Structure 1
Amino acid sequence: MISLNSVNKVYPTRSGPVHVLKDVNLTVDSGERIGILGRNGAGKSTMIRLISGAELPTSGRIDCDMSVSWPLAFGGAFQGSLTGYDNLRFICRVYGVDPDDKVAFVEEFSELGIYLREPVKTYSSGMRARLAFAISMVIEFDCFLIDEIVAVGDARFHEKCHHELFEKRGDRAMIIVSHDATYIRDHCTRATVLANGTLHHHASMDEAFEFYHQSTAVAA
């Protein structure tokens, strides 16, 4: 289970503190797929970073008794001077996974070819995303964090990513944040809405979508 209890996140700015998340409460059980809807700038990525442990809340508590991925397709944690291959080996060792039998999968899935053995700082954003997604699939997390879009590249590669994550790992918990209600409906079993820093829970997916559309219409 993942539990967020009265979580607040405040960022200092030149214009004063900005309260991005306000007393957020959320519980995610094993195998559950939670969708968090919100406009751009609502704080969705901030919540994902807090759950992943990349940032700490200003106040409140986050408890996890399951392994949690980094945000999928996010390559910000790579060491740029190391090659993709060396980053793979390093990340596998951090998570206690033998890297030797994972290389072939990452080579095939990422389709980086000779660039897997080139420094990551020479990669395009798409290449970094493909490497990050491929490495995410060799670590068997209990819960995957998905920030907006996990698939990169052309339609064929999108389908490849979808099969690897949503079909082969259909029994895992997932937290998906997006501004796209259709994407949430297609991949989640429950939806909440993040608006004005507050997470709004609803009894059904339809109620959540109705609230989201009303809140975005008012904001517009």
Structure 2
Amino acid sequence: MISLQNVTKFYPSDLGKQYVFQDLSFTIPSGHNIALLGKNGAGKSTLFRLLAKSEYPDKGKIRTDKHLSWPVALATGIHPQMTGRENARTIARINGVYDVKEYEERVIDFAELGIKYDLPVNTYSSGMRSRLAFACTIAIDFDVYLIDEVTSVGDSQFKRKAQRALYDRAQDSNVIMISHQTSELKLFCDSAILLENGKLQFFDDVDEAIERYEGL
């Protein structure tokens, strides 16, 4: 269960507070792989950051009994001045990974960084940073994976590898996914949440939700 309770989130601007959500209450159902739909600027990435606790509501609370990942494609939690190895070990400790050595081996194998794994992340290309972030996430047993444009991660070969790994994870865990590719949403998701005008609406049928979204 993930429950948003009277959540308000705004960003300051020269025109005053720009509200993304105002007194939003909504429960995200458990046991679903959910596509998060909405126009550009609707607040999808903001919602992801709130769920991942990389940002916090200005008012209200988000309660959950689930272990949620950070938004994968945003490389949240990757420190640019630390090496890939240092990042992986830090992430493992923060997330309570029992066998850090085994975890690190899975990250090394999946990220395909070679000797650059021991170089600072600020020397990486954007694709390499995304690959490290994805590898560090997929190697942890989260209850819910927050996936933001997974097809933007790495080259075509790595994208296919990432999709296969995510598909395997989605069989035992759940995903909440943002993607501009409806074919990808239909592959991973069985349901959807439509974000419109600061409100959320749950659809039990992902095809119905996509049809409604494309009609906006």
Give the structure-2-normalised TM-score. 0.90
SS in 2 for 1:51: helix
Report the more deviating stretch, 47-56 or 76-85: 76-85
Match of 2:171 in 1: 170
Distance 1:19 1:211, change over 3 A: same
Detail structure 1 runs of 4+ shifted over 4 Å in the superposition.
none
Match of 2:214 in 1: 213
Match of 2:79 in 1: 79
Asked whether 1:159 is paired with 2:160, we answer yes
Match of 1:62 in 2: 62
Number of residue-to-residue matches in the alignment: 215
Give 5+ residue unaligned stretches, structure 2.
none
Deviations 1:38-89 (A, max 9, x none): 1222110000000111111122321110111001133242222211001111
Match of 1:218 in 2: none
Q: Is the 8 A contact 1:31 1:171 kept in 2?
A: no
Match of 2:196 in 1: 195
State how far apart, in whole Å, the 2-side matches of 1:118 and 1:176 are.
31
State how far apart, in whole Å, the 2-side matches of 1:15 and 1:126 are.
36
SS in 2 for 1:100: helix
Match of 2:145 in 1: 144
Asked whether 1:130 is paired with 2:131, we answer yes
State how far apart, in whole Å, the 1-side matches of 2:180 and 2:23 are.
21
State how far apart, in whole Å, the 2-side matches of 1:76 and 1:188 are.
23
Deviations 1:82-122 (A, max 9, x none): 11001111111111213212222212211100100001111
Distance 1:206 1:73, change over 3 A: closer
Q: Is the 8 A contact 2:33 2:176 kept in 1?
A: yes
Identity %: 43
Give 5+ residue unaligned stretches, structure 1.
216-220
State how far apart, in whole Å, the 1-side matches of 2:178 and 2:5 are.
18
State how far apart, in whole Å, the 1-side matches of 2:204 and 2:166 are.
27
Match of 2:37 in 1: 37
Q: Is the 8 A contact 1:151 1:161 kept in 2?
A: no
Distance 1:54 1:159, change over 3 A: same
Measured after TM superposition, the shift of residue 168 of structure 1 is: 4.0
